[in-house]
Amino acid sequence: MLQKIGSLCQAADRLIAAIPHSISLLVLRVALAIPFWRSGMTKWDGFLNLSSGARYLFEQEFKLHIFGQAIAYPFPLTAAFLAGLGEVVLPVLLVLGLGTRFAAAGILLMTLVIQLTIPDGLINFHLPWAAMALALMAFGGGRLSVDALAMGMMRQTPAQRALHPL
């Protein structure tokens, strides 16, 4: 019985190991991008026009919880604008795999600020987001990314690029 279970575990391990890392990194990029994109879409009423809800939240509701104190955001409309911009631009970069490590670092920084704003979200949201961002910072976007395509093009000589244009 134990031998049968052991062989099943080995077969499952081989099957899982056959999944290309690039697929895992693509799924990770998309999974991290979705909640930030969805949040970013709520902050805008047209091109670069903050929604009234975003203005209200950053001016009235959101506070930074530091050392037991609830501190109002300094420059709340600037913070709202930058948060909204980051929540739209960084997820697009992640999904494309363009500047993946930079985009993941931006998401990590945003996650830290969100944690200071909403401390109760650590276990369910912020910790998994931070872990995903750190993984993408460590491993990059993988082969299925614009980063990998650009690096491949940079390694080619001009003659090779002429023979194999995109």
Identify the pLDDT of residue 164: 47
pLDDT band at 157 (very low <50, low <70, confident <90, very high): low
Sort 113 into a burial class: Cβ within 10 Å, 0-12 / 13-18 / 19+.
middle
Residues in Cβ contact with 25 at an 8 Å cutoff, skipping those fewer than 6 apart: 97, 136, 139, 140, 141, 142, 144, 145
Residue range 40-98, pLDDT digits in tens: 999 999 999 999 999 999 999 999 999 999 999 999 999 999 999 999 999 999 999 99
Domain ranges of the chain: 20-163
Read off the amino acid at residue 60: Q
What's the chain's average pLDDT? 90
More confident residue, 141 or 157: 141
pTM score, two decimals? 0.83
Alpha carbons 94 and 96: distance in angstroms, whole number = 5
pLDDT, residue 166, reads 41
Give every CB contact of residue 37 below 8 A, 6+ residues apart in sequence: 87, 88, 91, 92
Cα–Cα distances in angstroms (integers) from residue 56 to residues 21, 43, 45, 145, in the given order: 42, 11, 14, 37
Identify the band that residue 16 occupies on the pLDDT scale cut at 50, 70 and 90. Answer: confident
Task: Give the Cα separation of 151 and 145 in Å (integer).
Answer: 10
164 or 60, which is more confident: 60
Are 142 and 148 contacting, i.e. CB atoms less than 8 angstroms apart? yes
**Which of 6-10, 39-43, 141-145 is least confident?**
6-10
Contact of 1 with 58, CB cutoff 8 Å: no
The confidence score (pLDDT) of residue 86 equals: 98
